[in-house]
Structures are given as structure tokens and as C-alpha cells.
Amino acid sequence: MNGRVVSFTWGRGLGHVSRQIAVHSELRGLGWDSLLLTERAQRLIDDYGFTQTVLPTDADSLVGEALHGTGPAVDHGLARAMVTRVLRPDDVVLHDVTVQRELYDQAARLGCPQFLVHRFQRNRPDPPDWVSRHTPAIGTIYLLGEPGREETVHGVRVLGVPHVVRPLLDDRSPWPEDTRALRIAVVAGGGGHDDAPGFLTAALHGIREFARSRHAPADVDVLVLTGPHFDGAVLVPPGMPGPVRVRPYLGPAYDVYWHADAAITHAGYNTVQELVRSRVPAVAVPGVRDFDDQRVHLKAAACPTMVVAAAEEHAIAGALAEALKDPAGTRSRPVTPPARAANGAARIALDLVASTP
């Protein structure tokens, strides 16, 4: 019998919600229903046609770690009442890295099967130990990027799966069809982290310096995606070698990286997986996060088309020249999108269904 999977997603970036969308899309293909509880309204969830409910959250809303950047304290009784109202005894709960307190507690009281999708975090060197101490009602951990691993540790089942990449709904280009300039995408992920404005400023100055060098073609067409949670200002420096289009968000009908000739990104988990899929020459500027480590994601991806640089214009300009190599900006990758690679979302969905009574 098909069931319903309930998840909580949060964040100033889009990594958590992108992974949840990927897994829930696979589950929907298997006939299961979904409910996403969110820390803030996510346009991306609506674009994929999933139902979402916003829960009041603050720094104490997560099990085992503080949730930063959520504003003043809230009434946890309201969050508890909302979860109690929507969660059913026959639901399955799938957490993504973070574990929301009210959802976990109510699921444990109802006896709902609980699972955890996990990717590397500095504060959790031993995920099974963390689960056994903080969230013992979670029976299975899906470890991203470790396919083939399967064992039971501290009484917790551990299953390694391939990385998860969110599926796109179409492959439209965000650039006009007649664009002949070098197309560069500057992407800040969700855009809600404090270092996003500095990254965007450094990227644009780096592009200008790159364009002034002998490595660059005459014209550059820049698309800046600030991210839906960005609340700063994008200052376009004078002397840019072509148009600069600033957009807060493009939906999943657009395949930004495939249609770009180069990309400069903040190197979040989801972004790195999309770069691997598209094989676009890219400059990765790792962000600074509380628990995450962007450089670990980059190293694990081992993508030959990415060059890592500091958030400084000279470093970005040099890395962009190295990533492109060809002064004309000619593609060195295939002219058709690659076939779909092994995706952890499908593996997670099939295992979750098989493991649920």
C-alpha cells in the first residue's frame, strides 16, 4: 500500500530543499504522497507541485544543534500543535541532515518510521553515533556519496548511496537565442548566507578583470542569480564588457549551467552536483558555513571542469582563465546533455519503500 512521506526542510541556501525535492519526486513516481514542512516558504517547492506548511522556528528548533539566522524566539507550542495536526500514524518521516524537534518527537510518539539523509558535516564525524545519542528513533541513515556501504553501527542501519541531484523540469536557456558573447552564470545558491553579497561583488569584479586580460573574448554576457533568499544589493562595477542581468530566481524549467559557457558559484552541495552533471567550466568559491564544509564537497566531486578560488577578484579572474583555457570560450564538453547518472534519490526512495511496513 502506498503511503505519505513527511519531511522538514530549512535554510538560507537551497541544498536541503533541493535534495528533498529530488527524493520526494522519486517517491511520487512510486505512487507516494508528500508533505514538506518548511522553515520559510520555498518557491522551489511550489514549482515542483508539492504541498508545504511553514513552521515557526528559532535557534532551538533542531535536535542536537542550533538553527542559526531564524530571528527572534517563537512559540514552540504552536509548532508542536501544527505538527500534531498534520502528522498521521501511518506517515513515514524523512529528515535531511537537520532534525526538526517537534516533527521528530511527534513521529516518535506515533511510532512513524524515521529515516535520515546525511552528507558530510564538521560537527558529525560519526553520524551513527550522533543518531544513537540524539535521535534514536531514526532507524536508517542514508550516507550521500558512499555507494556500496551497508552496515549496522550503534544499532543504526547505515546505507551508502550515490549523491543526490535535483531533476530539472525542462532545459530552457536563460540567455537570448541570438547571444554570441561568452555566457557566464554567477550563482549564489539560495543567497541567504551572510557571505553572499561579498561573493557576488568579487565575482563581478573578477569577470571584469578577466575580460580586460588577453585571455578573454571581446564580449561577455553575465547572468547573476542572487538566490530567492538574498536581501542585499548587487553592485555592478563600471566597465563590464557586456550586459549583466540580475535575477533573484529561475525556476526548474531552466538549465542554467548547461547553457552557460562558464560559471562562478558559491559551491553548495546542490550546486556542485549540478556542475558535475553539466560539466560546464566553473570557478568554485567555497562559502563559509557553521557546520558544512564546501571544500569537502568539491574534493569529493572530483570534477575536472572546476577550479577552486578564494572570494577575491584577482583569484577569480585567474581561475576563470584557467577553467576556460580556450580564449575563444569554445565548449570542450559534449554538445548534448549527458545521460542521467546514478542518482542517490532513486536509491533512497526504493529503499525507504522497501523498508516500510
One domain for residues 351 and 306:
no
Which burial class, exposed, middle or buried, applies to 41 when counting CB atoms under 10 A from its CB (0-12, 13-18, 19+)? exposed
Q: Where are the beta strands (DSSP E) in 78-180?
A: 92-96, 114-118, 138-144, 150-153, 156-161
**Residue 300 above 60 pLDDT?**
no
pLDDT score, position 1: 53
- Residue at 301 is within a domain: yes
Q: What digits encode the pLDDT tens for the residues 172-188?
A: 999 998 888 999 999 98
One domain for residues 194 and 302:
yes
**Residue 290 above 60 pLDDT?**
no
pLDDT score, position 135: 97
C-alpha cell at 154: 550503534
- Residue at 330 is within a domain: no
Averaged pLDDT of the chain = 87
Measured between alpha carbons, how far is residue 309 from residues 320, 321, 339, 340 in Å? 9, 12, 29, 28
Structural contact between residues 237 and 205, judged by C-beta atoms closer than 8 angstroms = yes
pLDDT score, position 301: 55
Q: What digits encode the pLDDT tens for the residues 38-56?
A: 988 999 999 999 999 999 9
- Residue at 138 is within a domain: yes
The rounded Cα 140 to chain-centroid distance in angstroms is 22
342 confidence band (pLDDT: 50, 70, 90): low
Residue of 55 and 276 predicted with greater confidence: 55
Q: What digits encode the pLDDT tens for the residues 77-103?
A: 999 999 999 999 999 999 999 999 999
**Residue 71 above 60 pLDDT?**
yes
**Residue 34 above 70 pLDDT?**
yes
- Residue at 130 is within a domain: yes
Q: What percent of the chain has pLDDT over 70?
A: 87
- Residue at 310 is within a domain: yes
DSSP state of 238: T
One domain for residues 123 and 206:
no
Measured between alpha carbons, how far is residue 169 from residues 5, 56, 189, 270, 337 in Å? 22, 30, 18, 16, 14
Q: How many domains does the chain have?
A: 2
One domain for residues 135 and 82:
yes
Interior angle at CA 42, CA 39 and CA 43, nearest 5: 170
For residue 314, what is the domain's CATH number? 3.40.50.2000
- pTM summary value: 0.89
Single-letter amino acid code for the residue at 17: V
The rounded Cα 206 to chain-centroid distance in angstroms is 24
Q: What's the average model confidence in pLDDT over 124-153?
A: 94
pLDDT score, position 330: 46
Q: What digits encode the pLDDT tens for the residues 245-271?
A: 999 999 999 999 999 999 999 877 888
pLDDT score, position 243: 93
Alpha carbon distance 30, 26 (integer Å): 7
Q: What's the average model confidence in pLDDT over 24-43?
A: 95
Alpha carbon distance 119, 299 (integer Å): 14
One domain for residues 77 and 115:
yes
Structural contact between residues 134 and 320, judged by C-beta atoms closer than 8 angstroms = no
pLDDT score, position 180: 86
Q: What digits encode the pLDDT tens for the residues 101-132?
A: 999 999 999 999 999 999 877 778 899 999 99
pLDDT score, position 341: 55
Query: Buried (b) or exposed (e) across 189-215, using 16+ Cβ within 10 A?
Result: bbbbbebbbebbbbbbbbbbbbbeeeb
Strand partners, 269: none
C-alpha cell at 13: 541556501
Single-letter amino acid code for the residue at 229: H
**Domain span holding position 76:** 4-165+342-355
pLDDT score, position 50: 96
**Residue 66 above 90 pLDDT?**
no
